[in-house]
């Protein structure tokens, strides 16, 4: 039989039980709050995606314009729109109050859902393709006053014309104030840009991002997985390393740009940015890949 002193040590007193109950209650309460937040977000995402799938012909750009940005039909355009929007939203990078910069807005594939989400926030869409920007101005900016679109002049617009290596672009986001953007994103844009163009954009993104702002981008990383894929499939035979770590191929809208991981890091570092996370893409049969292109989440470089 236990002695009284042993019983006293074995059983928590009333105050201990109260503290434990309070801790348990607090944990359960926080879990319920989190579940409700997830449910609320799910409802918002579902409603916006349903709106996107319900867009009629007069609410969308022409099929020719969709083709220019890589969608072969309306279903592909809508599917890509909702998938990328959902990815940004569920990563917690988008909210109703976000200030957003869309680099390579095209003909509004992501502006269409984001314009439906934002309330207190603001959206800036930029592209070198004036026709796409004009369509966005007429169809989106005219209805959503917190959305604005800008054509950026490209001295060397090799997406639509023959590339002239001697001409250099100096892309600026002059319309976007310094340290105001919560999110900048570029979907399959840096996969078509030369190194100097990448750095020009990175420097401007670094300027406009808030201290804890995020740059989300997709592109191509030339790595051992790609080299293995290239040797197995004999793909990308025209790919050339034009400068250290920079690989280019093809022409016009098919212009391909890929960079080694070291080069990605160097370009970002030059602009005061750093990679926070990185995900392999399936484009070169990379192991365990979920998205098609390699994907980066980037922030301002921390000073240690």
Say yes or no to pLDDT of 7 above 60: no
Say yes or no to pLDDT of 248 above 60: yes
Q: Which tokens in the block code for residue 125? A: 């869409």
pTM of the model: 0.86
Q: How far is Cα 48 from Cα 86, in angstroms, rounded to an integer?
A: 9
pLDDT, one tens digit per residue, over 28-52 is 777 777 677 677 788 899 999 999 9
pLDDT for residue 15: 61
Q: Which tokens in the block code for residue 106? A: 């095209």
The architecture of the domain spanning 45-300 is 3-Layer(aba) Sandwich (3.40)
Confidence of residue 5 (pLDDT cuts 50, 70, 90): very low
203 CB neighbour count, 10 Å cutoff: 18
Top mean pLDDT of 18-22, 130-134, 159-163 is at 130-134
pLDDT for residue 14: 58
Rg (CA), the chain: 24
pLDDT, one tens digit per residue, over 89-98 is 999 999 999 9
What is the mean predicted confidence (pLDDT) over 160-180? 89
> Is beta strand 122-127 parallel, antiparallel or unpaired with respect to 99-103?
parallel
Segments in 106-251 forming alpha helices (H) = 111-117, 130-136, 195-208, 224-233
Strand partners, 297: 216, 277
**8 A C-beta contact, residue 74 and residue 107:** no
């Amino acid at each position: 039989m236990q002695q009284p002193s042993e019983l006293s040590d074995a059983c928590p007193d009333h105050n201990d039980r109260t503290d434990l109950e309070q801790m348990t209650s607090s944990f359960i309460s926080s879990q319920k709050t989190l579940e409700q937040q997830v449910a609320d977000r799910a409802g918002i995402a579902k409603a916006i995606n349903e709106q996107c799938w319900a867009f009629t012909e007069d609410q969308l750009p022409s099929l020719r314009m969709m083709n220019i940005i890589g969608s072969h039909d309306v279903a592909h355009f809508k599917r890509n729109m909702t998938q990328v929007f959902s990815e940004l939203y569920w990563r917690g990078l988008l909210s109703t109050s976000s200030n957003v910069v869309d680099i390579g807005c095209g003909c509004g594939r992501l502006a269409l859902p984001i314009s439906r989400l934002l309330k207190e926030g603001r959206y800036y869409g930029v592209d070198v393709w004036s026709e796409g920007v004009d369509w966005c101005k007429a169809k989106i900016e005219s209805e959503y006053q917190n959305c604005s679109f800008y054509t950026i002049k490209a001295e060397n617009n090799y997406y639509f014309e023959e590339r002239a290596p001697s001409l250099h672009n100096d892309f600026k986001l002059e319309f976007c104030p310094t340290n105001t953007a919560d999110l900048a994103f570029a979907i399959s844009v840096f996969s078509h840009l030369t190194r100097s163009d990448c750095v020009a954009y990175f420097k401007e993104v670094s300027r406009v991002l808030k201290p804890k702002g995020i740059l989300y981008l997709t592109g191509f990383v030339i790595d051992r997985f790609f080299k293995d894929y290239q040797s197995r499939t004999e793909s990308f035979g025209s790919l050339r390393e034009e400068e250290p770590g920079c690989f280019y191929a093809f022409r016009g809208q098919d212009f391909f740009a890929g960079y080694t991981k070291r080069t990605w890091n160097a370009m970002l570092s030059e602009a005061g940015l750093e990679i926070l996370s990185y995900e392999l893409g399936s484009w070169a049969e990379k192991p365990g890949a979920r998205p098609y292109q390699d994907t980066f989440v980037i922030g301002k470089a921390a000073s240690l």
